[in-house]
Amino acid sequence: MDVSANHIILPLPRPQYVAVPEALTTALAWRISSVPLPPDDRGRATASLFRKGKRESTKTLYYIESDPSNDTQALERFGQALDDQGVVSEEHQMLLARALMSSLAGVRAEKGSSQAAVPITQSLALLQNMRGLQGAKNPPDVGLILERLFALGLTGPGQIATVAGRWSEAVGHRVKMDPLSSAMDRAVATGILLGEPMVEAHSDGVLPGWWCAALPNTPFSWFHDNWMRLTDAAWVSALPARIWVDWASTVLRLALGMGYLWEAAWYETLARGILRGDLTSFDQTREQVPPVIQWKSTQVHMSVRDVASPTGWRVRRSVQVRSLLEQWIASHDAKESSFGDTVRRMGQDDVLTADLEEALGSRQRANDNMWEAVKYALKTRDTSGPYADHYGLLRSRGRYLWVEPGTEWTAVIASLCCDRPDSTTDLASVLRSLGQLGLHPELTDVVALLEDAGLARGSADADQGVVVQSAF
């Protein structure tokens, strides 16, 4: 692939820690729609949360809570809105309204008391905003980040699908096919949001055409393929509403976490290749990118399985490397130069090579924003209780962090390897999917996960020919 030095720096905004999985879908919802929020008489930015818990307004943020359960008047209004939509209790309408709200509480933030609503429909996703979820007046544009990650996985010219657009189509299909979801969506819009969501338009996720098909067999292409599949009407119809939301959050979390881990490995690969002087092309560099995270066998000691130190330091080093390469390209006006010529010239620059060597050996913790963002996208949050997180890839205990996905995570990955719901694939397809993500576990560990999830059919002796059944 003949590309320019523009391809050295991946066009991804800098990420920040996202408090709860529902924040990813919330970011998509606000990207394509919005609702008016109560203004603050002191001019502070309005931070909306489904349940704000112990959070109090600050000098810059005015917190509001959208869950009407603790406000008799608001609960009565929502109960009436449910009645208007035909959702009626034989006992007491306010009890029904409170029960429905309780059923919509999502994953609880680690060491926090606030919660988001489960974004089954567009109106439910708008019951919180990113200011509330992130606790910041100017939160990171997570919606744009997801669009860029998705666009890097496009496989051909002329594709105009977006992450937010596909999500909107999927929840729209849910509302059309599911009378209860439709009634809930309308009741929340009229009884809580006090108005229909207004349509927004964003086009800033689109990347220049020369990025198209540049990164096959990476977490970006995995995200594109699996998001297109999951948001297809067949999968929306096959999965229960709550399960579909959980699966969507899982795909988005993996896209965010594994995408930025691949970026970190990309910059490390570039730096080492520049120092060796053996990089000649973009494709050669891409093919040298190592597994983004080590998935060690369950048979080895925890200290060997730990990924916190090696992966965390790679991410931190990549931040420094990226900055050095970006500055060099700008100062040498090299954006339009060829990729191979640029990395060759970089290797001949004694100042840059010295800086790269120092960055690759650095043990500075100056900026951990990216590592925190990656870690908490992939890490299992609460592991028990009514708001437990069942869809994490990593688990932690003390200073250790290791790969240990649960049965629900396995069900998502394996099922989306199938062409359609209620069908089968084989173990080789599952391993290819994991490889796209940058994961290369031992075959026996994958078989064990599939067996625990009840998805493996046939003997493990069949090697990669083991039949894998979709969970739905």
Write the pLDDT tens digit of every residue in 302-325.
Answer: 889 999 999 999 999 999 999 999
Same domain, 439 and 459: yes
Least confident of 7-11, 88-92, 124-128, 240-244: 88-92
Average pLDDT taken over every residue of the chain: 92
Instruction: Report yes or no on 15 lying in a domain.
Output: no
Residue linked to tokens 């959702």:
87
Confidence of residue 462 (pLDDT cuts 50, 70, 90): low
Q: What percentage of residues in the chain have a pLDDT greater than 70?
A: 95
**HSE-up of 127 (CA within 13 Å, CB side)?**
32
122 versus 367: the higher-pLDDT residue is 122
Cα–Cα distances in angstroms (integers) from residue 268 to residues 26, 290, 343, in the given order = 33, 10, 13
Q: For position 1, what pLDDT does the model report? A: 59
What are the tens digits of pLDDT across the range 288-297?
A: 999 999 999 8
- What the block records as the tokens of 37 is 């929020």
For residue 384, being part of any structural domain is answered with: no
Work out how many domains the chain is built from and give that number. Answer: 3
One domain, residues 283 and 210: no
Comparing 418 with 385, which gets the higher pLDDT?
Answer: 418
pLDDT at 174: 97
Q: What is the DSSP code string of 357-424? A: HHHHT----S--HHHHHHHHHHB----SSTT-----SEEEETTEEEE---HHHHHHHHHTTSSSSS-E
Mode of pairing for the β-strands spanning 456-457 and 105-108: unpaired
Q: Tell whether 182 and 40 lie within a shared domain.
A: yes
d(CA 258, CA 218): 9
Give me the phi and psi of 72, to 5 degrees please. -55, -45
Please give the DSSP secondary-structure letter assigned to residue 444: H
According to DSSP, residue 210 is labeled: G
Whether residues 186 and 274 fall in one domain: no
Q: Which helix (H) or strand (E) holds 130?
A: helix 130-134
Q: What is the pTM of this model?
A: 0.95
The whole-number average pLDDT for the span 194-212 is: 79
pLDDT, position 344: 96
The pairing of beta strand 45-49 with beta strand 61-65? parallel
Is 318 inside a domain boundary?
A: yes
Q: Quick one: pLDDT at residue 463?
A: 67
Asked if residue 377 belongs to a domain, the reply is no
In the block, residue with structure tokens 């031992």: 442
Domain stops at, among 227, 247, 267: 247
Give pLDDT, residue 200. Answer: 78
Same-domain status, 61 and 40: yes
Is residue 284 domain-resident? yes
State which amino acid sits at residue 161: A
Same domain, 116 and 39: yes
Q: At a CB cut-off of 8 Å and minimum separation 6, what does 353 contact? A: 274, 275, 346, 347
Q: Which residues pair with 18 in a beta bridge?
A: none
What are the structure tokens assigned to 214, written together?
């540049």
- The model's pLDDT over 50-108, given as tens digits with 9 standing for 90+, comes to 999 999 999 999 999 999 999 999 999 999 999 999 999 988 999 999 999 999 998 77
Mean pLDDT across 159-187: 94
Boundary of a domain, candidates 247, 273, 302:
247
Question: What radius of gyration do the chain's Cα atoms show?
Answer: 23
Q: Is residue 380 in a domain?
A: no
Owning domain of residue 445: 405-469
Do 212 and 154 meet the contact criterion of CB atoms below 8 Å apart?
Answer: yes
- Regarding whether 193 and 117 lie in a shared domain, the answer is yes
Is the domain of 336 the same as that of 448? no
Residues 302 and 359 in one domain: yes
Instruction: Answer whether residue 395 is part of any domain.
Output: no
Q: What pLDDT score does 457 carry?
A: 83
305 shares a domain with 349:
yes
d(CA 181, CA 165): 19
- Boundary of a domain, candidates 247, 282, 301: 247
Q: According to the model, what pLDDT value does residue 383 have?
A: 60
User: Which residue, among 73, 65, 25, has the nearest Cα to 191 in the 3D structure?
Assistant: 73
- The interaxial angle of helices 142-151 and 22-32, nearest 10 deg, is 90
Query: Which stretch of 148-162, 197-211, 230-244 has the lowest confidence by average pLDDT?
Result: 197-211
For residue 307, give the DSSP letter: -
Query: Do 413 and 275 have their domain in common?
Result: no
Mean pLDDT of 437-441: 96
In a domain, 388, yes or no: no
* Residue 461 pLDDT greater than 60, yes or no: no
The residues near 437 (Cβ < 8 Å, ≥ 6 apart) are: 219, 222, 254, 258, 292
As beta bridge partners, residue 4 has: 338
pLDDT per position as a tens digit, 346-378: 999 999 999 999 999 988 876 789 999 999 999
**346 and 444 housed in the same domain:** no
Q: Report the distance separating Cα 205 and Cα 31, nearest Å.
A: 11
